[in-house]
Amino acid sequence: MKIKTRLSLYFTLISSGALLLVLVAVYIAVFSFFNADFYNRLQERTKLASQFYLKADELATDSLMQVQQKYLEKLPDEVIRIYDDYNLSAFNMKNHVYWTKEIIEQVRKEGVLEYEEGTRKVVGKYYHDNQGNYVILASAVDTNLSRRTVVLAKITGVLFVIFGTGLFFAGRVFAQKALSPVDKIISQISNIQASNLHLRVDEVNTKDEIAQLVNNFNRLLEHLQNAFELQQTFVANASHELRTPLTSIMGEVDVALNKKRNMAEYERVLHSIANDGGRLQETITSLMELAQVDLNYTRAALTPVRVDELIWELDEYWTNKKGPGLLKIQLANLPEDEELLTIPAHKSMLYIALNNIIDNAFKYSGSNPVVLNFKADATSIAIAVTDKGQGISKADIEKIYQPFFRVNTDKSVSGSGIGLYITSKIVELFKGRIYVASQPGEGSTFTVTFLK
Ligand code: ADP
């Protein structure tokens, strides 16, 4: 059963259950009101009878009865009797002794008595008076009650059916409305496959569970896309990047071996082979790094990493490598709270990412000093690496994160074009952002930020 139908069914069941309770309560209230009202009317009749009884001395019994019959509203099948202390009925009526002695005694004892006798309702009242004590009993058939209760039951039944149906359809409309974004999401998700992992589900402008679902799903897609891309990059580039220098080496060797050559010629060939060998070594190193990152990417369990500590580790590494003072660390009023210096990440992967940026800064600035600026506050952590090197043109900035892209192909600076690609993927994995501000000829600043 679809969630929509299930929701509207639950809604209908709950609300019509509540409606039924209300209707039953109203029914019971009205029913008891009718009952009480009939007893009240019987009481009124006993009062009236008592007044007649007291005036009986002044009026003739017959005329009294006539007045009562003619002018006063009588209840259906009404019987009224007035009993004196000897349980004898006043006025000469047929069925003199209508109620038993026991009943009359009970009225005398309790003062007031109300009970039902088959279809009849009976009210008894005991009057103490200076003119004497007497018991009045009145009974009548409540013919209206059954008719009224049937009408009431019909009305409540019809109301229940009408409102119940209305509630079901209203529930359906609301369920449809509430779940309409889900329909959209389902149709968008069904279009996503391994070949188009770049597609995303449209964000929803609400702050509810559906928006959370979309966000989490999109984040999962981003992660999958990156992991998939890393694998594809490795497979697609490994053979090409390895084969090119190898082919070049084989070509040079073949040409050199073609005939006898002089020393200078052999030296040139050996230099060229050494060059290609160096390139091959670099490519293999970066491919290994790529494979390692790729491996970690899918399994990286995120643990809290103190970024300031990582920066001191980098400082130590570069001090050993380049000498003291070349990597200048600048810390801007760091917060005392350790939490604000910590991000969920994979320590060695984050180390690789930041190290690549620093490595480039030294490589492309002729080993001039490089400044690392570290800032952290309640909202974010930012690491900026600034060099005074050759800078990058606007057009190239867009391409430097592509795998194996290099601005300088003149081989003056060693590299394989994979470093920034790996860095950007790692930063993305830890939900950070990387951007570069650069002025050709003046230098570049690579900034990595992690929002808290
Ligand atoms: P690699 O350094 O191995 O060539 P990267 O992916 O690290 O590969 O960098 C890609 C390209 O971006 C480099 O070839 C270089 O041209 C450019 N680049 C990266 N960092 C800098 C920098 N700090 N200054 C100037 N150019 C840079």
- The tokens for 194 are 């391994």
| Best probe residue, ligand 1, of 354, 400, 426 (max atoms within 8 Å of C-beta) | 400
Q: Which CATH superfamily is domain 300-452 in?
A: Histidine kinase-like ATPase, C-terminal domain (3.30.565.10)
Residue nearest to atom 16 of ligand 1 (CA): 407
Pick the CATH number of 3-162 from 1.10.3470, 3.30.450, 1.20.81, 1.10.10: 3.30.450
Residues 312, 318, 323, 328, CA torsion sign: negative
- Minimum mean pLDDT among 46-60, 87-101, 253-267: which range? 87-101
Q: How far is CA 219 from CA 15, 198, 214, 231, in A?
A: 39, 11, 8, 19
In the chain, where are the structural domains located? 3-162, 300-452
Cβ(415) – ligand 1 distance below 6 Å: yes
124-183 pLDDT, tens digit per residue, is 999 887 777 889 999 999 888 888 889 999 999 999 999 999 988 998 898 888 888 888
- Minimum mean pLDDT among 70-74, 249-253, 292-296: which range? 70-74
Backbone torsions φ then ψ of 271, nearest 5 degrees: -60, -45
- The tokens for 68 are 């009562």
| Best probe residue, ligand 1, of 241, 285, 364 (max atoms within 8 Å of C-beta) | 364
Using the predicted structure, report yes or no on whether residue 65 has a pLDDT greater than 80: no
Atom of ligand 1 nearest to the CA of 418: 6
Please give the biggest Cα pair distance in the chain.
165
Cβ(364) – ligand 1 distance below 6 Å: yes
Residue nearest to atom 25 of ligand 1 (CA): 391
365-410 pLDDT, tens digit per residue, is 988 999 999 999 999 999 999 999 999 999 999 999 988 888 875 5
